[in-house]
Structures are given as structure tokens and as C-alpha cells.
Structure 1
Amino acid sequence: PIAQALQDTIAKGSYQKALGFCDKKLAIDPENVAVKHSKCLCFIQLGKYEEAADYIKTLDADLKKKLTTETAYTMYKLRRHKEALEIIDTIDSPTVAHLHLKGQTYYRLGDHQKCKEIFEVIKEKENSPELLVNIAAVQCMANNMDEEMKNAQKSNEDSYELAFNMACLLLQNNELAAAEQQLVLAEKIAREILPQQEYSEKEISDELASIKVQLAFIYQLTNREAEAVELYEGVLKNKPSDASVMAVASNNVVTLHKDHKLFNAEKNLFNAISAADEHKLTAEQEKVINFNRAVVYLKMGKVDKCREIIDVLKKDFPDSPLPALIEAALLLKEKQTEKAEELLKQKAEQGNLTTKLTLAQLLLKDGKVQECIDALNNLGDDSYRVGVVATRVKLLEQTQDAQAANKVLDSAIEFWTSKKDNSNLVKILFAAGEFKFANDMYEDAAACFKRLVDLDKDNREYYVSKLVIALSYVDPAAASTYAESLPNSSFSYEGISVDKLENLSAHRSARDSKQSEGENDQAVEKKKKKKKKKKKKRLPKNYDPNTAPDPERWLPRNQRSTYKKRKKNMRGRHQGQDMGNSEPTKAEQKSTPPPTKQPVQQKGKQKKGKKKKGGRR
């Protein structure tokens, strides 16, 4: 009866209940191999991988050998990847399932080349749509798409997983429009196929969550932030079962809100990093989410929590520049600028570009312009990037060292010429031509524009016009020769009066210009001669021109020397009466409030009382 009950519960998927039956059966028959195998599988099905690993250790060597697949899978789920690979390598003739597990293990370790090789071996044995999806995922992570995948992309009409992976691969290559098309296709296929497989609306929404998050990411990159936020929040509201999808949506929506909703951001990022405990995130995703958590804590003023995250980042990602960046920001918040500079200098020596640029920015913010220029000069080949060159030239212009700025541009031209990168060379040459022309180096400027005429055929006429202007200062004959190649202007000089142009005022309204169009020269002269009427001066009443005005007339009345303070109300008293010893009059008794009541401020507007007679009129 126990054996039958065990089979029934496993068939129904009641693995927790099945564990109880396993224990009962083993109490009666301790050497039953089939029940021991079933108990191990129950642990795995329930996700209790630690218990499964501990239970396998208690088994004898012969049974352990039979359970190599289960042991390897348990090690894989516990992220003990090297142990999983060692166990699989002990198998003499591995099955397709073993090869799949080995490939997935290499994928987790980030060895995408070995993973691809294993999948190619599997492909020789069996070629399935699921395998093609996995190969696409590997190529996406390796950022390499072969011809077969390109063909699969074109002919794909029934696999939304393949379309999704192809979108990820295109996204890696910054082909955003093509990636968006693949995601739209993936959603379309999923909505057509999943209802046929008897998926409920909720399950379909759960399957589409990853597609929507990736689509929202593309919207975010293409400045469609409102649409991106709407998609992210829709996914978060539905609470997808995939923890990694939830984590990515939570992190990305925080980056869109920026400095707003910090308490929500803290909560979202805490939920996002919890996916790392379930081993659902890649190392890169975990690093970025933790960095964003540190930034949020820094903005909220939670310094201790921020330091905790920095320590975690330093421990898990010692080569990453992110811990140093957030620590430097924390030191700056605490007004320890020198310590922040020292920290960034130490990290910059390790050769990380992000740290070096951050150091340069900090030096510039601190007013150390020359040190900033030196930091940018020491970037190696990165110092010739277009943005870095522009910054160096601008800073040297501020220090009024045009000669050094010119050398920077010349060295950048040489660098990109040697690299044969025409795209960057065109940008540098144009910037150099403009700079040289502005600094009266007309011959050098003409040389730059001349090279541009040959390099950038699409904008040839524009560069020729620049070249003509530059040559007009040094070689007018050559300038006129180049000017002949420019297209004729459609502008006509007929009907233009030189006198009218000379008499034009710099600041004229549209109404004046319209009126002046129909006027002849005599009318203009007459207008000029017309004198402007003077307004009659308005003088105050009783004005006496012979009397000097009061010098205190602009002062408030109570600050003037002639001001007399009003006397207190003497009503009801006789003149000369001793006020200290006198009895209060009836008028005074009436106006005195009763001593027992305390004044209470009324909310809202208070009703004004009537003015007493005898006040100022």
C-alpha cells in the first residue's frame, strides 16, 4: 500500500507528501534503491537542493554512481559549477541531457565559446527549435551572430523565444530598430501560439513579461521615456514569476524616475537584488543593481547603508570601478574633496577609463584646470576620442594657450589618419578647420577644409564654401577658382536701392518697415523734419515756484521731523486727574475683558469688528 501511495502522490505532483511515504517505506525496507532514488528526485522537484546534496552524501558509492545526473544537476542549481562539470566529465558516454547540462554550466560560467561548441555537438545528434533558441542565446552573450542565425531570423515565423533572443543579439550590436521589430514579432507569435497550447490569459501575460521589459528598454534608449515607464510599471503590477524579469524592470524604472520617488526606488531595488539569492541574475546585472542601491542610499542620506553596499561591491567585484566612484561621491558629500581625489588617483593608476574621466571632472569642479588637462592628456589612445579632444581644446582656450590647443588638434588628426577611421577624422578635421580659422591660421584652416572636400563627398559644397573663405585671406586666385565650382545663387540684386539699405535702422518694427516700403524720399525727409511735440508738465496744486520743496517729502509721514504722535484716548477723564489712583470709568469697565477666559485663535478668516467712533477719520 505504501509503494502504491508513493507512486500516486508522485504522479499527482505532491512531492512533499511523497517524501513522507519515502521515509515510511525506507523505515520498513532501508535498502530499497528505487525509493532512495525517488526521495532524491522529490527534493530536487521541491527545489530543496541543499537537502538533496546532503542526502546524496549519505548514499553508498554504487548508488551515487547511478545518481550522477541528479548530483550534477543539484551542484548546478547550487552554483557549484566546477563540481558539476567534474561529475559530468566522469560519465563515459554522456547523453544529450548530460551535454545540455554541461553547456548550461559553461553558459553560467561565462565561457560562451565552449558552450557554443557543446551545442554544436548536440546539433549533430538532434536538431530542435529549442536548441536553436539556446544557440541564439549563447551568440547573444558572445555578441557574435553567424550566417545560420541570420537565416533563422529571416525565416522565423513560429518561435517567439528565437525572435526574443535575436532581438537581444541585435540590441548588443546597437541595432535598435531591428531589435524592436524582432520583439514586436515575438509578441505577435506568442499571442498566436500560446492560446493554442491552452495557456490562460494570466499565463500569456507572464510569458510576455520579458518581451515587454526588453521593449521598454529600447524605448528608454530612444528617448521614449513615458512609454518605457508605462511598460515597466505594467509588468511590475502583474508580478511576473521570473525573478530576473522583475529585477530588471524594478531597476530600470528607478533609473527613469532619477531623483524622484526615492522611497519607492529603495523598495524596488531591494526586491530586485533578492533575485540574486535565487541565482536568477547575471554577475553584471547584480553589480549594476547594487550600484544603483548605493546611489539611492546616498541621495537619501543613509550613509551607513551606502557603505555596506560599497563593501559588498568591493568584495564581489574588486576590478570594477563602480565601488570607487560611489565611495568618491560619498566623500564629496562629506566635504572630503582631497580624500576623494586621492582615491580616484589610486584607481586611475589601474588603467580604468571611467575612473580617469571622473577624476578629471572632479579636478575641474575643484578649479584645478591645469591638473584636469594633464589628467585628460594621460588617457593614452582614449585621449584622442572626439569628446575628450573637444574638452582638452576648450580648457586650453580658457587658459589662453591657443598654441597647445592647436597641437592637440594636429595630433588627433594624425591619430585618426593612422587608424583610417574616416568618420572620426571628418569630425576632427572640421573642428580643427574652424579653430584655426578663428585664430587667424587661414592657411592651415584651408588645408583642413581641402581634405574634407575629398573625404566627405556628401557635404562637399559646404566645405568648398568654407575653403573659399579661408583661401580669400591667403590665396585669392585659388579662392576664386574653387568659388567657380559652387552652384549659382538664385538671389537677384535687381530692385535693391543702396540708399534705402544705408538708411535702414537696426531696430525696426514690422509696421514701420511696411509703411516705409510705399514711401518716397520726399516723405522720408518730411518725416525727419517733423518735430516731436513736448508734453505739458503737470504740477501739484498750490505749487509755488518761489518756495523750495520739502526735502523730507519722500520719507514716510511717521519719520518726518514735523510728525506729532497722537495722544491716547482721554475720554471720560478730567484734565489734570491722577491716573494711577483713579477709579476706572464705565467706558473702561466695558472695554476690559473678563479675566477667566483665554484667547483662542480661530481657524480660517476672522470676522472684523466695527470701528469705534472717535478714531482717525
Structure 2
Amino acid sequence: MATSVKTLSALLQRTSIDDHEEILKACNASLKQSKGDLELQQIKFVALLKLDRYDDALRVLEEGGDRLKQRVPIERAYALYKVGDFEEAKNVAKCIAEGRGARHVEAQASYRSEDFANAAALYRNLAGSQAAIENEENDLRINRGATDAQLEWTGRGDLVQKKKPGREDQEAFETAYNAACGSIARGELGLGEVLLKRARDLCNALDDLTDQDKIAELLPISVQQLYVVSKLGKIEEAEKLASGIAIEEIPDLSTRQIAQNNKLTLSTSSSNPYLSHRLFHSKEKLPKTDNLFRVQAERMQQNGLSLDLLASKSNGVIRTTGNILSTSMPTLSPHINNLSVLNAAAHAQSQLAKLGLKQILPLLEKRPKDIGLVMTIIQLYVLTNNHGSAITVLDSLLKRLSESQTPSDQDILHAPGLVALQVSLYTSQGRKSQIKTTLAKAASYWRHKSKPPTALLQAAGLSLLSSPDPEHQSLARAIFSTLHAQDPNSKSATAGYVASHALTSPETVSSEANTLTPVARLVAGIDVAALEEAGVPSLPSSTATSRKRALDEKPKPAKKRVRKDRLPKDYDPSRTPDLERWLPLKDRSTYRPKGKKGRQKAAEKTQGGVGGEKGAEAKAGGGEGVIKAAEKKPGGGQAKGKKKGKR
């Protein structure tokens, strides 16, 4: 121990603190004489970290064994994080009981391993305690914004505490960019576009960044802007923005791939799909430290398969998607169901209507619980205006799910999306009683769950309130009681709670009724007399009634437009043309023959018989009115006899 201390002291005397290369050389020289010296190994490990040689640093830790690992747990977790081993880094940092540094490393590793819920909780705790590092508060705000955006993208928006961007989120370009990403994930594209422009302006206004650094920071913002304006349908603006993005200058390979993908999505139908396919698949392999997040990777895979379809590579799409679909049915995963749609498109050769259905329907026998396939078939039936067959296909799927004993299948059976599809199809057929029954079953299932879908329960409660069935009304009261207890500040839940109890127990909801906006205030700006004078349009009760009326009404023949160059010179549009103008003159009803012979010929033209002398001969030839053939001249078929020779 004394020797190692003397060696370390001599080492520090010969080097400066910032000269990590010299420290590393001295460590290597000393370790040749004392390989098992933990002090020297620790110094070498830290020097390698300072030099960003993380793989070499981890090799030193493995050589030092558990004793050395126990000395530098935070540094080890950080090195694992930097080489892309995020799960191991998170586990190592989690085992460290105390220290803000360990929590920062754990949060970052959780973020990159896509454990966004844990990362959000860690950043929330760090922000709630006193900061120990300068500028830590700003870093925490940036990281929390990025984590919230990822929660929104992955469908965990219920864990996000702050939905609306505040003033502090627009003070730095990093926070404005993260706020924009969160808004885009929630579908608020207009707000996202505004925040992205704000982030661009803030970045350009910074004085402590060089022009090169500004370009590096602005490129990801431009890539995100390209996505937003494309989704908003601003094609001209998107094309202009895409032309200003230099993909080869983007330092991050993942961002470069996303930029290439977003530029290819702007390609119109007249572009060469084979060239787009080649450009898309000519991307570089990403390192572990710069891999795409799962949501991004799934979108890229779907885009790649779509380009395969455009490039007539249907068999490859069938093989790729078939391997995934064979082991993951049924599921509510949007990615898996999108792959199912692409698989169906490949089988149908991208044909729609009856031709597509003919190719896709046999697949339902092999994958009867494939949600994406069923949705595709229903969509094709709806496009052909065959709502009855669409309902039959959906009912068959729901019956198979209801007979299943798997708990996850029951969640799928009552999924809000499938329930909404049922209600939509039943509405198209005017099946009001089935709508209420479907909503009642779904509400009864979800009401006792820990995290029920609020929108579904509200829709079910509103529908059941108007039902004359006492059981439905009782269920509506229970639904709104649950919703009101969960969120007393919700106006819709409070209104439903009051309406459902108004007839049975009005005294229990009197205080809640007083918190609602008075009806007089709600209708204060409405002119009832003007509305009554304008009239109320009446709509048919169902599409079936309107379809019946449409069949009863005879369609009016469309007026044909005649070209002027095909009209006669003396054409008068005010005169009605003769309908028999195309018949020969003697066949028209207005024809009157002239002369004695002409009138005699007209009289002989009797329907079903022959007039004149030939007719008399026919009747004399037999009682059955058979006309005899003319007698043949001598010589049989020869037209003329041979001339006699001269004597």
C-alpha cells in the first residue's frame, strides 16, 4: 500500500491535472511493475474516461474485478451508458443508494432504454430537491421536457403533469423544441409549428454559439418542421424546407435517416418508386449509442415496407410481415396492426373493393383474431357500401374474443377503438338498441378497472341516460358517480352526475347543480324567435330509410350535350325533332303513297300474309298455307343450255 501511494504521489508530481494522456502513460508504466495495484487501476480508468475511451475504460474495470468496480460505481454506470449498454447502466446506477450524480445517470440510462416512466419520476424528484450543481435546474427542465414528449409519443400521456407549454418553456431553444415535440405527439400540429419557429429564432439569436454550432442545432429543428408542415398539407412550404436541409451535414446518423425519410415522403405519385426504394435502403447502420427509439424504428419499418409494395416486392412484404404476425395475435399494438394491413395489401396486390376482398378474405381463416386484417376487410366493405357484411365480420371477431379465456383478449374485446367502430357501424344501420347494449357491456367491464378509459365511460353514460330501461339508467348513475369521484372539477362529469340523479335523488346533487353554469347564461346570446322562423331541418332517422326513399324515387335522365358541329344547318332548338327521322321514308307512320300502283302495294302489305296473285297461288297449293317453290327450268342447276352447233 505504501509503495502504491509513493508511486501515485510521484505520478501526480510529474503530470498536470489536465494532461490525461501523460497520466495514462505513467499508469501503464507503473502497472507493468505492479499489475494488481487498485490505486493505479482506478487512476487509469478515470484517465480513460476523461479521454472518452469508454470501451478501454470498461476493459480496465473487468481486469480489476469486483474490488475495482465497487470503488467507482457511478463512473462505471456512466461508462456503460456511453457505450450504449443502457439497461446495465440503469441497473448499476439504481444500486447506488445516494448521490444526485447517480440519479442523473439512472435517469439518462432509463430515458435511452425507453423506460420513460422511471425517467420522468427521477427528474421530478431531482427538480423537487435542492440543486447541488450550477445550471442543473436548466438541464433538468430540458430533460423533463424531452421525457414528457416521449411519454406522449408512446401513449403514456396520462403520466405527463404539464400539458400546456408555459412561458419558461419558450425562454431557451432546447425547451421550446421539446415543448413542440410534446405538442406534435398530442396531435397539436399548429401549436407545434409555432413552437418550432420560436426554437429556431431563439437559436439564431444566441451569441455564445458559433455559426457551425448553430447549423448543427438548427438541422434537427428543420427536420421536425419538415414533418409538421407535411402533415399539415403545406406541400410547397415543405418542399422549400426540404431543399434547404443538407442531409450529409447532419452529425447524428439517426437524425440523418429521419431527414432522408421525411424528404422521401414528399415524393409524389409521378416519382420513381424504385429510386425512392434504393435511397431509403441505402442508409448506414446505426451504432448502439445512436439507435432510433422504438416508435421511430417502427415508423421507418412501415415506410420501408410501403416502398417495397410500390416497387412490386409483394412477396418480400408477405414474408417479412408474416413472420411477425404469426406470433403476435391478437393485439392492440398499432405497429403490429399496421403490419397486418401491409400484409393484406401485399396479398391483394394493392387492389381495392371486390377484387381486393377476393384475395384477402381467405386470410381470415388462417388468422381469425387478426385485428388489423379485420379492420382492412371492414374498410373495404364500407368502401363498397356493404355495411351489413362489415358488421358480420366484426361480430364474428368479437364472438371469438368473448369465447376466449385469455384476460388480454377481454381487454381487446372491450377496447375503446373496437367499441367506437361497433357504434359507428350500428349507427349506419339505425340499430339504436344494439348501440346501447354495446356501450353498457363496455362500461360495465371498464368501470371496475384501475385505469378506465374516461371518454368511453362518458359516451356510455350519455347514451344510457336516454334509455327507458331501468338497468341502463342505474348503470348511467354508477358511471357518472365514478367519473365525478375521480375528477370533481370536470364539468362534463358533474353535469352527468347531476342529470343521472335528478329524478331519483335530487337532494343529493343540489350542491353540484349549483356549481354548473346556469341555463340562462348558456342561452343568453341565442335568438329563439329567429331560429323558429328559420325552421329546423329534419334528417332521416336512419340511412336505411333514406336508401329506401332513394330507391322509390325515379332517377331523372341526364341531359345529353350535343356538339354543334353535328347539328343540321337549319336546326331550330324550339321545334321538337321527328322521332322517326332515322327511318326510311316508306317506313314512317306519316308516309302516304301516291298513285294507284302505290296505294295497291301499300294495301298488299298485310301482316302475316301475302297479297295479290302470289297469295292466291299459295292458298291453292295447300290447306296449310305452304308456298310452293317455283318449278325449276330444264337443265337442273345449269344456268343456260348448250348452243346447238351449226349444220
TM-score range, shorter chain: 0.5 to 0.7
Q: Does 1:242 align with 2:252?
A: yes
Aligned partners of 1:160 and 1:189 also within 8 Å: yes
Cα 1:266–1:465 shift into 2, 3 Å:
same
Distance (Å, rounded) in 2 between the aligned partners of 1:258 and 1:343:
31
For residues 234 and 294 of structure 2, the distance between their equivalents in structure 1, rounded to whole angstroms, comes to 28
Equivalent residue number for residue 142 of structure 1: 151
Alignment of 1:107-186 (within 5 A): 107-123=111-127, 124-126=129-131, 128-143=137-152, 144=157, 153-156=166-169, 158-186=171-199
Q: Structure 1 residues 303, 156: closer, same or farther in 2, change over 3 A?
A: closer
- 1:406 alignment counterpart: 430
8 Å Cα contact 1:287-1:317 kept in structure 2: no
Does 2:359 align with 1:327?
no
Task: Tell me if structure 1 keeps the 8 A contact 2:381–2:387.
Answer: yes
Contact 1:248 1:272 in 2 (8 A): no
Mapping of 1:373-452 within 5 angstroms? 373-376=391-394, 382=417, 385=420, 389=424, 393=428, 405-407=429-431, 411=435
| Conserved? CA contact 1:266–1:297, under 8 Å | yes
SS of 2:245's partner is: helix
Distance 1:311 1:206, change over 3 A: farther
2:233 to 201, 204, 223: 223
Tell me how far apart the structure 1 counterparts of residues 342 and 377 of structure 2 sit (CA, whole Å). 13
Where does residue 493 of structure 2 map in the other structure?
Answer: none
Asked whether the 8 Å contact 1:383–1:389 carries over to 2, the reply is: no
Asked if 1:63 is matched to 2:65, the reply is no
Q: Counterpart of 1:188? A: 201
Q: Tell me the amino acid that sits aligned with residue 205 of structure 1.
A: I
User: How far apart in 2 are the matches of 1:246 and 1:284?
Assistant: 16
Task: Report the Cα distance in structure 1 between the residues aligned to 2:264 and 2:327, rounded to whole angstroms.
Answer: 23
1:175: how far off? Answer: 2.2
**How far apart are 1:216 and its partner, in Å?**
1.7
Contact kept? 2:27, 2:44, Cα under 8 Å? yes
Structure 1 pair 7–191 and aligned structure 2 pair: CA distance change class (3 A): farther
In structure 1, C-alpha distance between the alignment counterparts of 2:319 and 2:80, rounded to whole Å: 30
For 2:340 and 2:438, the matched residues in 1 are separated by: 34
| Inter-partner Cα distance in structure 2 for 1:528 and 1:413 | 63
Counterpart Cα distance in 2 of 1:97 and 1:52: 19
Counterpart-to-counterpart distance in 2, 1:285 and 1:303: 23
| Separation of aligned partners in 2, 1:210 and 1:301 | 33
Cα 1:528/1:233, change in 2 over 3 Å: closer
Deviation (angstroms), 1:207: 0.5
Residue in structure 1 matching 2:41, options 36, 42, 67: 36
CA distance change for structure 1 residues 227 and 122 in 2, over 3 Å: closer, same or farther? same
Instruction: Count residues in correspondence.
Output: 427
Identify if the C-alpha distance between structure 1 residues 466 and 337 changes in structure 2 by more than 3 Å, giving closer, same or farther.
same
1:115/1:337 CA distance change after superposition, 3 Å = same
Equivalent position amino acid for 1:389 in 2: S
Distance 1:290 1:462, change over 3 A: farther
Match of 2:302 in 1: 291
What is the identity, as a one-letter code, of the residue corresponding to 2:339? P
- Comparing 462-471 and 289-298, the one that deviates more: 462-471
Cα distance in structure 1, aligned partners of 2:256 and 2:326: 25
Q: Choose from 371, 376, 379 the match for 1:358.
A: 376
CA deviation map 1:56-104 (0-9, x unaligned): 22213321111212322233345544432332233242x2221011112
Give the residue type in structure 2 aligned to 1:129. N
Please state how far the C-alpha of 1:148 moved relative to its aligned partner: 8.4
Residues 341 and 152 of structure 1: CA distance in aligned 2, closer, same or farther (over 3 Å): closer
**Aligned-pair identity (%):** 16
Contact 1:219 1:225 in 2 (8 A): yes
1:293-338 superposed Cα distances (whole Å, 9 cap, x missing partner): 1222232234676467547866998852233333333333399977
SS in 1 for 2:431: helix
User: Structure 1: any 5+ residue segments left out of the alignment?
Assistant: 394-404, 426-453, 472-505, 509-526, 530-617
Partner Cα separation in structure 2 for residue 82 and residue 528 of structure 1: 88
**Which one is further off, 370-379 or 42-51?**
42-51
Question: 1:227 Cα deviation (Å)?
Answer: 1.9
1:372 and 2:398 matched: no
Report what 1:581 is aligned to: none
SS in structure 1 of the partner of residue 281 of structure 2: helix
Q: In the alignment, which residue of structure 2 is the partner of 1:612?
A: none
Stretches of structure 2 lacking an aligned partner (at least 5 in a row): 1-6, 399-413, 441-454, 464-521, 541-558, 562-572, 576-647
The SS at the match of 1:223 is: coil
| Equivalent pair of 2:426/2:435 in contact (CA under 8 Å) | no
* Distance 1:22-1:254 versus aligned 2 partners, 3 A rule: farther
- Is residue 41–residue 60 contact of structure 2 (8 Å, CA) maintained in 1? no
- When residues 158 and 383 of structure 1 are mapped into structure 2, their CA distance, relative to the original with a 3 A threshold, is closer
SS of structure 2 residue aligned to 1:297: helix
- Residue 248 of structure 2 contacts residue 256 of structure 2 at CA under 8 Å; is this kept in 1? no
1:41/1:341 CA distance change after superposition, 3 Å: farther
- Mapped partners of 2:532, 2:457: distance in 1: 23
Match of 1:582 in 2: none
**Which of residues 81, 97, 101 is equivalent to 2:101?**
97
How many Å separate the matches in 2 of 1:189 and 1:329?
Answer: 45
Counterpart in the other structure of 2:553 = none
| 8 Å contact kept, 2:348–2:360 | yes
Following the alignment from structure 1 to structure 2, what is the Cα–Cα distance between the partners of residues 414 and 97? Answer: 53
Aligned equivalents of 1:5 and 1:303: distance in 2? 70
Structure 1 Cα separation of the partners of residues 53 and 365 of structure 2 = 47
1:265 corresponds in structure 2 to 276
Per-residue CA distance 1:247-296 (angstroms, 9 max, x = gap) = 22222222221553434533543365733644431111111112211222
The alignment partner of 2:251 has SS state of: coil
Contact kept, 8 Å, 1:251 with 1:272, in 2: the verdict is no
RMSD between superposed Cα atoms in Å: 5.0
Return 123-132 or 76-85, whichever deviates more. 76-85
> Against the structure 1 CA distance between its residues 36 and 370, is the aligned structure 2 distance closer, same or farther, given a 3 Å change threshold?
same
In structure 2, the residue matched to 1:301 is 312
SS of residue matched to 2:32: helix
Q: Kindly tell me: are residues 384 and 26 of structure 1, through their superposed partners in 2, closer, same or farther at Cα, counting changes over 3 Å?
A: closer
TM-score of the superposition, structure 2-length normalised? 0.54
Partner residue of 1:430?
none
- Please tell me the residue identity of whatever aligns with 1:135: R
Aligned to 2:505: none
CA shift at 1:211, angstroms?
1.4
1:433 alignment counterpart: none
Contact 2:391 2:425 in 1 (8 A): no
Distance 2:366 2:226 in 1: 38
Letter matched to residue 369 of structure 2 = E
Q: Deviations over 1:468-489 (max 9, x none)?
A: 6679xxxxxxxxxxxxxxxxxx
Cα distance, 1:46 vs structure 2: 6.8
1:162: how far off? 0.8
Contact 1:133 1:162 in 2 (8 A): yes
